[in-house]
Amino acid sequence: MTGATGGERSDDEAWRGHRRGTPGFTRMLVAMFCAGVATFAQLYAPQPVLPSISDALGVDAASGALMVSAGTLGLALFALPWTYVADRWGKVPTMIAAVCAATVLGLLIPWVPQYGVLLLLRFVQGAALAGMAGVAVAYIAEETHALHAGIATGLYVSGTTIGGLSGRLIAGPLAQASGDWRIALTGVSVVGAAAAVAFVVLVPRARRFTPSPARGALRQTASRVAGHLRNPRMLSLFLLAFILMGAFVTVYNYVSFKLEAPPYLLSQGAIALIFLAYLSGTFTSTAAGRLVARWGQLRVTVLGILVMLLGLGLTVLDPFGWVLTGIVLLTMGFFAAHSVASGWTGQLAGAARAQGTALYNVFYYLGSALIGWRGGLLLRGRRVAADRGLLRGARGGRQRGRPSAAAA
């Protein structure tokens, strides 16, 4: 779709990727921004309305959070299979098929009455979204000039924050206005459908893609995956993605339960505004890409982790101001570290970029699915302990107020 412009040679073999400032580079980033909205708006839309889903379906917090975890688990498990499709048929057709399938499911899922079927379809939707999330960074790394790959990846990650933010901001107020979480999720899917159409129209064709031969393609994919898992540098990035994403999603999954309860008693619309903290992640993911050129990838990643840990510590405090500050710092640190680590993965992966970035996404979304779900069990345990404490206190009060047998 995009011709050679701004110093880009028309010969595809000599062409070294889109350069910053060229029409092709801009068009690619706009397309991938729309892809981020279509993908992450739908993936995390249930998060601000989890209490309503839990109440409507008669399940506890941990079970309700499976609406998020089922999607992220499907994404994690199918990120690698999609790379085989991408290597055979091309990254652009793969992303188009994935985002279209996920959008159709997103329009259907809210109206499924059975909770078990609802979770199954969320898992399938996540599996479809894996075709976008697992291939996008590899596509950017492959089609962008090496000098501008870090900036391009950072801008794409900032687009995913806007996508995640838009889904949450739409779902919360819609649920409060309509009184129905199903209408809220449908509204998010409509926005996702519009973004998917824009992506399909705008995405530039791949110019550096060479299809893998059918014979030995599966063996080649398996060999590349095994090579990444034996590489200590790659494995450390995968484990980092698992831990950071798990902690991040756990906080965002359950902060709404905390803020709906006393002493805060916030409405769904007000809680949805908490997700505006994502804007800080949009800023830091872009800024991190620039800082890497000055400080290096390791230093910027460590700085992001330290900021995230500080924010995580503040969220456990009771004053609302500290909780809000903690969420902002958590988000800033997370997206800074994530944008650098994901881009770093693509660079270290070499020719096996699709498998490297897909493995990063496997660990990333397994952290979201598994740690996010386990966080709900911890929340349930704390609630049970609190209820037992109140019960013991009430019993103690009755016993202290009851006259003794001797006095009688």
CA atoms within 13 A on the CB side of 386: 7
294, two tokens: 């000055």
- Burial of residue 65 (CB within 10 Å: 0-12, 13-18, 19+) is buried
107, two tokens: 């329009």
| Nearest residue to 181 (alpha-carbon basis) of 47, 20, 25, 27 | 47
Contact 333, 310 (CB under 8 A): yes
Report the distance separating Cα 82 and Cα 67, nearest Å.
22
How many CB atoms within 10 Å of residue 318?
A: 9
What pLDDT, in 10s, does the model give residues 239-279?
999 999 988 888 887 787 788 888 888 887 787 788 788 78
| Count of helices and strands (H, E) across the chain | 17, 0
* 6 within a domain of the structure (yes/no): no
* 42 within a domain of the structure (yes/no): yes
How many CB atoms within 10 Å of residue 119?
A: 19
* 200 within a domain of the structure (yes/no): yes
Name the residue range of residue 181's domain: 23-205+225-388
What pLDDT, in 10s, does the model give residues 6-42?
334 344 445 665 666 677 778 888 888 888 888 888 8
Question: What is the chain's length?
Answer: 408
Unique residue bearing structure tokens 């791949």: 206
What's the CATH code of the domain at 254? 1.20.1250.20
Q: Is the pTM here over 0.85, yes or no?
A: no
* 408 within a domain of the structure (yes/no): no
* 249 within a domain of the structure (yes/no): yes
Dihedral angle at the C-alpha atoms of 215, 219, 220, 226, nearest 10 degrees?
180
Q: What percent of the chain has pLDDT over 70?
A: 81
Residue 211 is predicted with a pLDDT of 59
* 213 within a domain of the structure (yes/no): no
What's the total number of domains in the chain?
1
What pLDDT, in 10s, does the model give residues 210-245?
656 656 667 777 888 888 888 999 999 999 999 999
AA identity, residue 231: N
pLDDT at 292 over 50: yes
137, two tokens: 């960074």
* 375 within a domain of the structure (yes/no): yes
Residue 306 is predicted with a pLDDT of 96
* 289 within a domain of the structure (yes/no): yes
How many CB atoms within 10 Å of residue 218?
A: 12
pLDDT at 347 over 70: yes
What would you report as the CA-atom Rg of the chain, rounded to the nearest whole angstrom?
23
